[in-house]
């Protein structure tokens, strides 16, 4: 589903106040890291001569000059969406290198130029928000109907048997997660993206990500994540959501969940812990509703086609729960038996099949994988083995994986008169190593194996943040052992004046890792350096290192006094650092969640040697009580305070 251009325009025009000079942020989250082919925003003073909104060119791109204003990122012309004297929205060019990068704004009318820097990483997820502040209600729609929040956990328009609601989350900065080579054939990067939520009661959720990648190919920089809503979210109210890709996590946004009508609560799925077991063992059944049970709870009737199976006649799902489990006990058997368990609630009837094998059936005795470390995107070779040859009908061994980067088949069959079965499992490309647990189950016997799915090459640091003048150890890891000649991996620093590295690191024959030392130098302000390891046949990998001055006072808190006022009054805000500000002072960016209710200056400076600075918040008269969030940001740290205006 394509995101409305009008809605995107509303999101792109931020409500943040003006800032002196200019600074660059994500155009969605207003965090300080951006990614190639993502929307960014520059806030400043006098950075454009007039206000203008661009229209797309015939080729579908946005202009690189708007109202006489141009933006260059590391010397490359950027497409521009919007300009004003205090704000410019532009697209980070696709081929921008990682690390601290120069940004140049030029005005043709005055020949004036302004420069700043921004930190570029392969991914930097920012979720657009409907109020254009980077927080609050996210730009999230029902992925099938296009309807906005509030949502229900069921979408009837889905059709078919799976009516679970899918949400489309509109964002920027994630399309290359797990694809640093920017391979255009890699469309869905869902395996490299996670989405998590928490409701008002504190219940946490890890959502299934079905799609992540480009939202609309005709609209540059617009990305999308599709998630599935679990039944447990039925009536949860406000849910706070974050999306993560590689080593970045998005801004926090919210969406609203309403309750299904009680009359629509129904049995949705019925599953067994295994569909094949040895007689005399127990199997767990799980009943799942499409929402949560209401006050009277939710009874489900059970029946079996074999009176020798023991199962409860009724399972009750308690009020407020969406699922319940129960136990089925199987009898000892001398022959293979195929049984059926039926669950009925109202007009819904679901069945599950259970094969009960004789106790003298060959037992699971072998479960192996080669190699134990594999490069993502290639296949694993697995083998299951039995203690004896399989009887007529064969033996089904159940398989499971705890990570979607390795998608094991539900089962493999050891054929009659054989005792082993070889099979392959595909893996997904990854940017960081995933340790995956694979499980094989036959009856009550379970065997596990761990395999590592690795990127072709990765670089890790012993510390991601150090004080200038100290050294830090880096490690380069490749997915497969180096050949007999070894390999020389090129290593580079994006800012050699802050952190220097050897020109190359040798990984010896038969090895997969090698270490190296990064030397850092004293700095007066924190500097972000990108360390890049590159080998032609494997591509490249990066790690970020922050080089800090000796005693940098970090943002510790922001407070307001008084915290509750009548509209029209002035409020004093205070920012506090963890230590004295250094030479030149510490600039702290400010924003409010609703400038129509309460406005603040865009920045406040903590003077050199001081740990605090105050600023004035101006409030306006309101018709009803309003809650405004005051956000202070310095570097990568943000703190908030709540102001109530009556």
Cβ atoms of residues 64 and 78 within 8 Å:
yes
Q: What is the C-alpha to C-alpha distance for residues 326 and 315, in angstroms, rounded to an integer? A: 7
Provide the pLDDT for residue 544: 86
Provide the pLDDT for residue 636: 66
Per the confidence metrics, is the pTM higher than 0.85?
no
Q: What is the C-alpha to C-alpha distance for residues 530 and 122, in angstroms, rounded to an integer? A: 11
Cβ atoms of residues 293 and 319 within 8 Å:
yes
Provide the pLDDT for residue 5: 44
Token duo for residue 280? 């005399």
Helix (H) or strand (E) holding 11: helix 5-12
- State the CATH class of domain 555-645: mainly beta
Token duo for residue 180? 């640093």
Question: Which are the contacts of 108, defined by CB distance < 8 A and separation ≥ 6?
Answer: 65, 68, 69, 70
Helix (H) or strand (E) holding 546: strand 539-548
Q: Give me the mean pLDDT over the 629-640 stretch.
A: 87
Considering only CA atoms, which of 64, 26, 70 is closest in space to residue 48? 70
Q: For residue 363, what is the DSSP state? A: P
Considering only CA atoms, which of 374, 445, 448 is closest in space to residue 406? 374
More confident residue, 285 or 608: 285
Peptide bond into 136 cis (omega under 30): no
Q: What is the C-alpha to C-alpha distance for residues 214 and 208, in angstroms, rounded to an integer? A: 18
Beta strands in 258-322 (DSSP E): 267-272, 276-278, 282-289, 298-304, 314-317
Provide the pLDDT for residue 308: 84
More confident residue, 550 or 272: 272
Residue 550: pLDDT band (50, 70, 90) is low
pLDDT tens digits along 563-607:
999 999 999 999 998 788 877 788 899 999 998 899 999 899 999
Considering only CA atoms, which of 309, 290, 355, 308 is closest in space to residue 300? 290
Considering only CA atoms, which of 123, 126, 130 is closest in space to residue 544? 123
Cβ atoms of residues 219 and 81 within 8 Å:
no
Cβ atoms of residues 589 and 635 within 8 Å:
no
Q: What is the C-alpha to C-alpha distance for residues 162 and 141, in angstroms, rounded to an integer? A: 18
At residue 90, φ and ψ (nearest 5 deg) are: -145, 165
Residue 1: pLDDT band (50, 70, 90) is very low
Residue 142: pLDDT band (50, 70, 90) is very high
pLDDT tens digits along 237-287:
999 999 999 878 999 999 999 999 999 999 999 999 988 888 888 999 999
Q: For residue 8, what is the DSSP state? A: H
Provide the pLDDT for residue 350: 96
Q: What is the DSSP string of 560-589?
A: EESSEE-TT-EEEEEEEESS-B-TT-EEEE
Considering only CA atoms, which of 100, 65, 90 is closest in space to residue 221? 90
Token duo for residue 13? 């025009």
Token duo for residue 503? 């020109």
Burial class from Cβ neighbours inside 10 Å (0-12, 13-18, 19+) for residue 212 reads buried
Residue ranges covered by each domain of the chain: 5-126, 263-357, 364-454, 457-548, 555-645
Q: Which residues pair with 116 in a beta bridge?
A: 103
Domain 5-126 identical in fold to domain 263-357: yes
Most confident of 55-64, 223-232, 528-537: 223-232
Q: Give me the mean pLDDT over the 534-560 stretch.
A: 83
Answer yes or no: is pLDDT of 144 > 50.
yes
Provide the pLDDT for residue 191: 83
Q: What is the DSSP string of 29-89?
A: T--SEE-TT-EEEEEESSSSSS-EE----TTSPPPSEETTEEEEETTEEPPEEEEETTEEE
Answer yes or no: is pLDDT of 424 > 50.
yes
3-state class of 6 per DSSP?
Answer: helix
Fold of domain 263-357: Immunoglobulin-like (2.60.40)
- Long-range Cβ contacts of 60-67 (<8 Å, 24+ apart): 60/218, 60/220, 61/220, 62/91, 62/220, 65/108
**Mean model confidence pLDDT for the chain:** 89
3-state class of 278 per DSSP?
Answer: strand
Lowest-confidence range among 43-57, 240-254, 533-547? 533-547
Token duo for residue 265? 């609560």
Provide the pLDDT for residue 7: 44
**Residue whose structure tokens are 């906005």:** 148
Angle at 637 between CA 632 and CA 642, to 5 degrees: 35
Helix (H) or strand (E) holding 10: helix 5-12
Question: Which are the contacts of 251, defined by CB distance < 8 A and separation ≥ 6?
Answer: 28, 29, 30, 31, 126, 127, 129, 134, 135, 242
Fold of domain 364-454: Immunoglobulin-like (2.60.40)
Under CATH, which number does the domain 5-126 receive? 2.60.40.10
Q: Which ranges of 372-445 does DSSP label H, i.e. alpha helix?
A: none
At residue 150, φ and ψ (nearest 5 deg) are: -80, 155
3-state class of 322 per DSSP?
Answer: coil
Q: What is the C-alpha to C-alpha distance for residues 516 and 505, in angstroms, rounded to an integer? A: 7
Q: Give me the mean pLDDT over the 406-427 stretch.
A: 92
Q: What is the C-alpha to C-alpha distance for residues 212 and 15, in angstroms, rounded to an integer? A: 28
Identify the architecture of domain 457-548 in CATH. Sandwich (2.60)
Q: Give me the mean pLDDT over the 471-490 stretch.
A: 92
Provide the pLDDT for residue 552: 56
Cβ atoms of residues 436 and 451 within 8 Å:
yes
Token duo for residue 258? 């309403």
Radius of gyration of the chain, Cα coordinates, nearest whole angstrom: 29
How many percent of the chain have pLDDT more than 70? 96
Residue 20: pLDDT band (50, 70, 90) is very low
Token duo for residue 557? 């808190």
Question: Which are the contacts of 477, defined by CB distance < 8 A and separation ≥ 6?
Answer: 433, 454, 457, 458, 459, 460, 512, 513
**End-to-end alpha carbon distance in the chain:** 41
């Amino acid at each position: 589903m394509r995101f409305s251009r009008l809605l995107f325009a509303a999101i792109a025009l931020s409500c943040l106040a003006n800032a002196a000079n200019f600074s660059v942020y994500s155009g969605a989250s207003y965090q300080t890291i951006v990614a190639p082919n993502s929307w960014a925003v520059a806030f400043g003073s006098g950075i454009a001569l007039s206000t203008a909104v661009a229209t797309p060119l015939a080729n579908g791109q946005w202009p690189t000059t708007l109202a006489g204003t141009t933006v260059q990122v590391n010397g490359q012309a950027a497409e521009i969406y919007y300009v004003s004297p205090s704000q410019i929205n532009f697209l980070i060019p696709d081929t921008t290198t990682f690390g601290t990068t120069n940004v140049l704004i030029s005005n043709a009318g005055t020949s004036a130029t302004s420069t700043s820097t921004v930190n570029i990483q392969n991914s930097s997820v920012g979720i657009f928000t409907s109020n254009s502040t980077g927080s609050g209600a996210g730009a999230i729609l029902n992925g099938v109907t296009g309807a906005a929040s509030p949502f229900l956990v069921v979408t009837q328009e889905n059709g078919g048997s799976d009516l679970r609601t899918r949400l489309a989350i509109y964002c920027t900065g994630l399309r290359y997660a797990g694809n640093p080579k920017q391979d255009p054939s890699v469309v869905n990067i869902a395996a490299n993206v996670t989405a998590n939520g928490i409701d008002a009661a504190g219940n946490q959720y890890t959502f299934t990500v079905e799609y992540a990648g480009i939202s609309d190919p005709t609209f540059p920089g617009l990305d999308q994540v599709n998630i599935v809503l679990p039944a447990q979210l039925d009536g949860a109210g406000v849910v706070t959501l974050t999306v993560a890709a590689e080593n970045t996590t998005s801004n926090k946004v919210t969406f609203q969940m309403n309750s299904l009508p009680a009359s629509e609560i129904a049995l949705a799925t019925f599953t067994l812990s295994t569909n094949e077991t040895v007689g005399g063992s127990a199997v767990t059944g799980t009943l799942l509703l499409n929402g949560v049970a209401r006050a009277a709870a939710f009874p489900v009737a059970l029946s079996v086609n074999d009176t020798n199976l023991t199962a409860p006649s009724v399972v009750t799902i308690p009020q407020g729960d969406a699922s319940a489990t129960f136990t089925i006990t199987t009898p000892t058997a001398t022959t293979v038996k195929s049984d059926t368990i039926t669950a009925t609630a109202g007009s819904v009837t679901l069945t599950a099949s259970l094969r009960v094998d004789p106790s003298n059936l060959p037992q699971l005795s072998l479960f192996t994988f080669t190699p134990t470390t594999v490069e993502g995107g290639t296949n694993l070779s697995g083998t299951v083995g039995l203690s004896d040859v399989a009887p007529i009908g064969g033996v089904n061994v159940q398989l499971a994986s705890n990570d979607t980067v390795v998608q094991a088949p539900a089962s493999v069959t050891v054929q009659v008169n054989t005792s082993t079965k070889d099979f392959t499992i595909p893996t997904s490309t990854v940017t960081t190593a995933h340790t995956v647990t694979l499980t094989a189950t036959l009856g009550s016997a379970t065997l596990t194996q761990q395999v590592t799915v690795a990127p072709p090459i990765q670089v890790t640091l012993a510390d991601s943040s150090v004080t200038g003048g100290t050294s830090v150890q880096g490690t380069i890891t490749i997915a497969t052992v180096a050949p007999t000649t070894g390999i020389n991996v090129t290593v580079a620093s994006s800012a050699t004046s802050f952190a220097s590295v050897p020109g190359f690191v040798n990984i010896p024959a038969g090895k997969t890792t090698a270490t190296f030392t990064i030397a850092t130098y004293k700095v007066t302000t924190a500097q972000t350096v990108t360390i890049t390891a590159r080998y032609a046949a494997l591509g490249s990998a990066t790690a970020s290192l922050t080089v800090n001055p000796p005693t940098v006072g970090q943002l510790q808190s922001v407070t307001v006094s008084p915290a509750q006022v009548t509209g029209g009054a002035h409020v004093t805000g205070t920012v506090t650092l963890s230590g004295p500000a250094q030479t030149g002072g510490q600039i702290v960016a400010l924003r409010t969640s609703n400038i129509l209710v309460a406005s603040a200056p865009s920045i406040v400076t903590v003077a050199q040697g001081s740990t605090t600075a105050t600023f004035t918040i101006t409030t306006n008269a309101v018709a009803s009580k309003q809650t405004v969030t005051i956000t202070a940001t310095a570097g990568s740290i943000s703190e908030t305070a709540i102001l109530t205006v009556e």
